Amino acid sequence: MKKSLGKYIGKIVFSITLVTVAVLMVSLYISTTRLLTQRNLLSQQSAAQSLLRNNSNFKDSTQRELFRLAAGKVFNSKSFNDSDIKQVLKDVQNANVQVKYSGFATKNGAPMSINGTSFSKHSF
Q: Residue 71 belongs to what H/E stretch?
A: none
Lowest mean pLDDT among 3-17, 39-53, 85-99, 109-123: 109-123
Identify the pLDDT of residue 75: 78
Helix (H, G, I), strand (E, B) or coil at 104: strand
119 vs 113, which has greater pLDDT?
113
Q: What is the pLDDT of residues 91-112, one digit of tens each?
A: 887 777 777 777 777 666 767 6
Q: Could you tell me the pTM of the whole model?
A: 0.52
DSSP 27: H
| Segment 17-70, tens digit of pLDDT | 999 999 999 999 999 999 999 999 999 999 999 999 998 998 888 888 888 888
